[in-house]
């Protein structure tokens, strides 16, 4: 096994990795910015090292600082978490060139999957369904207009190096495409340092279904079932559940097989996610992208499979083969995750970081909360607004919904606004209870959901409907 891991991230994912390492007897070094000096992972790690000022570009995105920290503290490996440099192929290569095991896929695999336009072609060759779109990147407005005319409107302009809903614009006509192309390129350049774009046909009213995969160095690839991530705003996920209620056993098997083929096509190693769009009829699915890292929502897969995904990452990075086969993977019960973000839904989801004046997390059977917050700490304005991930597991989907409602009634965070009330309202919406929500649900239903919250004067309802 690995001996000492540099955790090149912060917040709840840094804490999640730290805990998995401690249970395996692996020493941890927490890399932190000056602003994160009092962060919980910094306090709990075997050792901590400051890597720069608060600004992410000067700390968590500073490749030289992270590599120097790993070498100076005698780390034999580095876990990138999610976000920041987790899908940076050059950084993965630099780690290995300096004798540090990058806990994730190779730089070549990241490049194959990371360029969304190139990945589409790989998937097509591998027999994985892809949406109609451009043949490779669109390097000009004229290229984009020609591709859109060929596949038909509406279309999506998407950043080849994108993720997290950034660098995406919808176009319903040729008149709107030039401005959308310019805006998407500018956002992609600012977020990813790469403004390459591609275009694809917009699948109307789809469900967003993703499959968790594991792959070892020996060439074994398995999937650990699916997650439904359709409750999202502006391509940012809010509520996820596993497994997806809309999948039949036959369709689940077919999509799982496609996810495995996708991982094999990029010669994958480690934990990753293959994301699909399922059409409104629930019969046709299309490859959307592959995330070459641990996902924010990995916890609900752990709850329904009993598999510790970070532990598996550490085992694979140590050169060990998978300790399970596809036939060993079973999905038990149902799990739901609500992302609690420091943002104000009534003010166009404006980020609202601040000091935690009082904090109480829910508990009880089948409840898990991943968070690095504690009473008196500050959720900083320099990074992501994620405050906590509340997860529940129960024998049935309806029981899981009821358990999550109870958890959000118990959840208390004073000091800044969160989206907890909005998530609570979603859990009562008939469309969610029926399991019929598509990716358009939240944007369409937001005024209605916010009205319910306002009627309660900012307080969560304590009765059950």
Buried b (16+ CB within 10 A) or exposed e, 370-387: bbbbeeeebbbeebbbbb
Residues 427 and 449 sit within 8 Å (Cβ to Cβ): no
**Cβ neighbours of residue 208 under 8 Å, at least 6 residues apart?**
228, 229, 230, 232, 237, 275, 276, 277, 278, 288, 439
Q: Among all chains, which residue has been given the structure tokens 């927490």? A: 30
The C-alpha atoms of residue 205 and residue 439 are separated, in whole angstroms, by: 6
Q: Spell out where 382-435 has E strands.
A: 386-394, 412-414
Buried b (16+ CB within 10 A) or exposed e, 357-368: eebebbeeebbb
Count other C-beta atoms under 10 Å from residue 108's C-beta.
13
**Which residues on adjacent β-strands are paired with residue 171?**
155
Q: Which tokens go with 262?
A: 């996708």
Instruction: Look at residue 6 and give its three-state secondary structure.
Output: strand
Count other C-beta atoms under 10 Å from residue 56's C-beta.
18
The C-alpha atoms of residue 192 and residue 189 are separated, in whole angstroms, by: 6
∠ at Cα 338 (207, 200), nearest 5°? 30
- Please state whether beta strands 221-233 and 207-215 pair in parallel, antiparallel, or not at all (unpaired): antiparallel
**Which residues on adjacent β-strands are paired with residue 394?**
334
Catalytic positions: 293
- Please give the span between the terminal C-alpha atoms of the chain, in angstroms, as a whole number: 51
The C-alpha atoms of residue 148 and residue 167 are separated, in whole angstroms, by: 17
Question: Using only C-alpha atoms, what is the Rg of the chain?
Answer: 21
Sign of CA dihedral 299, 267, 70, 163: negative
Roughly what angle, to the nearest 10 degrees, separates helices 141-151 and 177-192?
120
∠ at Cα 191 (188, 194), nearest 5°? 50
The C-alpha atoms of residue 54 and residue 381 are separated, in whole angstroms, by: 10
């Amino acid at each position: 096994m690995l001996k000492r891991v540099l955790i090149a991230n912060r917040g709840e994912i840094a804490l999640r990795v730290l805990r998995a390492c401690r249970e395996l007897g692996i020493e941890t070094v927490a890399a932190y910015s000056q602003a994160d000096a009092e962060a919980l992972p910094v306090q709990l790690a075997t050792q901590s090292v400051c890597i720069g000022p608060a600004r992410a570009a000067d700390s968590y995105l500073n490749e030289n600082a992270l590599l120097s920290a790993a070498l100076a503290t005698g780390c034999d490996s580095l876990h990138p978490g999610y976000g920041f440099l987790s899908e940076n192929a050059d950084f993965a290569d630099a780690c290995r060139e300096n004798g540090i095991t990058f806990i994730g896929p190779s730089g070549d695999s990241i490049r194959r999957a990371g360029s969304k336009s190139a990945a589409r072609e790989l998937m097509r060759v591998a027999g994985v369904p892809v949406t109609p779109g451009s043949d490779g990147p669109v390097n000009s407005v004229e290229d984009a207009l020609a591709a859109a005319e060929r596949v038909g409107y509406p279309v999506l302009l998407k950043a080849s190096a994108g993720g997290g809903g950034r660098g995406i614009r919808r176009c319903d006509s040729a008149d709107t495409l030039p401005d959308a192309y310019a805006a998407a390129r500018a956002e992609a350049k600012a977020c990813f340092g790469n403004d390459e774009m591609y275009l694809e046909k917009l699948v109307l009213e789809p469900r967003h279904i993703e499959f968790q995969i594991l792959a070892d160095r020996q060439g074994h690839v398995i999937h650990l079932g699916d997650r439904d991530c359709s409750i999202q705003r502006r391509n940012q996920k809010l509520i996820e559940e596993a497994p997806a209620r809309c999948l039949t056993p036959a369709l689940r098997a077919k999509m799982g097989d496609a996810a495995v083929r996708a991982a094999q096509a990029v010669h994958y190693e480690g934990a990753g996610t293959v994301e699909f769009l399922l059409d409104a009829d629930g019969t046709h699915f299309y490859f959307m992208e592959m995330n070459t890292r641990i996902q924010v929502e990995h916890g609900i897969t752990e709850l329904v499979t009993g598999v510790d995904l970070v532990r598996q990452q550490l085992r694979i990075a140590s050169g060990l083969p998978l300790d399970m086969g596809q036939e060993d993977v079973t999905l038990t019960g149902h799990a739901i995750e609500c992302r609690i973000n420091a943002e104000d839904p009534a003010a166009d989801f404006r980020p609202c970081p601040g000091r935690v004046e009082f904090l109480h997390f829910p508990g009880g059977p089948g409840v898990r909360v991943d968070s690095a917050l504690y009473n008196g700490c500050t959720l900083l304005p320099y990074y992501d607004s994620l405050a906590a991930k509340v997860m529940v597991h129960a024998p049935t989907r309806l029981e899981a919904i009821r358990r999550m409602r109870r958890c959000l009634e118990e959840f208390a965070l004073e000091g800044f606004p969160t989206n907890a009330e909005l998530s609570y309202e979603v859990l009562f919406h008939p469309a969610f209870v029926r399991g019929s929500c598509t990716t358009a649900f939240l944007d369409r239903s937001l005024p209605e959901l916010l009205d319910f919250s306002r009627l309660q004067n900012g307080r969560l309802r304590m009765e059950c409907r």
